[in-house]
Amino acid sequence: MRIDILTLFPELCEGTLRVSLLGKALENGILDVHLTNPRDFALDRHHTVDDTPYGGGAGMVMKCEPLFAAVESLREHNSLERVVLLSPRGRRLDQNLVRELAQAPDLVLICARYEGVDERVSEALVTDEISIGDYVLSGGELPALVLVEAISRMLPGVIGDWESVETDSFYDGRLGSPQYTRPPEFQGMPVPGVLRNGNHAAIRRWKLKEALRVTRQRRPDLLTDISGEEQALLNEIEREAQAPERENTP
């Protein structure tokens, strides 16, 4: 999969792309990421990429000419079917969107700076606007890297054990179950016995139940499309939650 990132600060991305699983994906040719600086396509000798907004207002706005020219320069290598603007007004990034984007043969990610981009970029160039959350950053580089890493985990060969992806939080619409490793007891806190007894059916049931428990506690909005098994476990969790209340009732 090829991803082209348009950024005024390619140095913000270069280091992250060289390490850990992303670096290995690039080294192994599973993922191909290229950085393009819109400043290289500015029309004046000062390489100007921003200007004051019409109608007044604070800050500067990224000009449309360098962005259009930068995207057009990619046409020989990128289909340009998905041109994404990282924007606070975009669709909120979630695992379903990550899966959708991971099916594309290539992507273009535009990292905005200053007060944003000329609206004509959104109207005529961009196919998708994506936000990673309801807060403000100085630019789109970090959101672009978040998107690249999330997508990379969906590409076959990036994660050594595909099961480890399937147990990630949000992979199946639930938060992940608690995880433990050695030692079996630490400061009076033991690892649940079910995880050490070798009964794979019991372990699978425990992990599903605890994933549902933590999702119910912290992100109940994710509990949609419940299977019969999940509903039975949620009923069991509800009874367990009510049991201490009954015990304390006079």
Catalytic residues: 88, 115, 153, 168
Put the strands of the sheet holding 2-6 in their side by side order.
Answer: 32-36, 2-6, 106-111, 83-92, 128-131
**Closest listed residue to residue 148, CA positions, set 40, 69, 35:** 35
What CA–CA distance (Å, rounded) separates 142 from 19? Answer: 15
Name residue 6's beta-bridge partners.
36, 110
Instruction: Work out whether the CA dihedral 184, 186, 190, 195 comes out positive or negative.
Output: negative
- Distance, first Cα to last Cα, the chain: 64
Instruction: Work out whether the CA dihedral 41, 49, 135, 120 comes out positive or negative.
Output: negative
Joined together, the tokens standing for residue 75 give 């046409």
Which amino acid is present at 148?
A: V
Phi and psi dihedrals of 44, rounded to 5?
A: -110, 170
What is the number of H-type helices and E-type strands within the chain?
9, 9
Count CA within 13 A, CB hemisphere, residue 217: 11
The C-alpha R_g of the chain, in whole angstroms, comes to 23
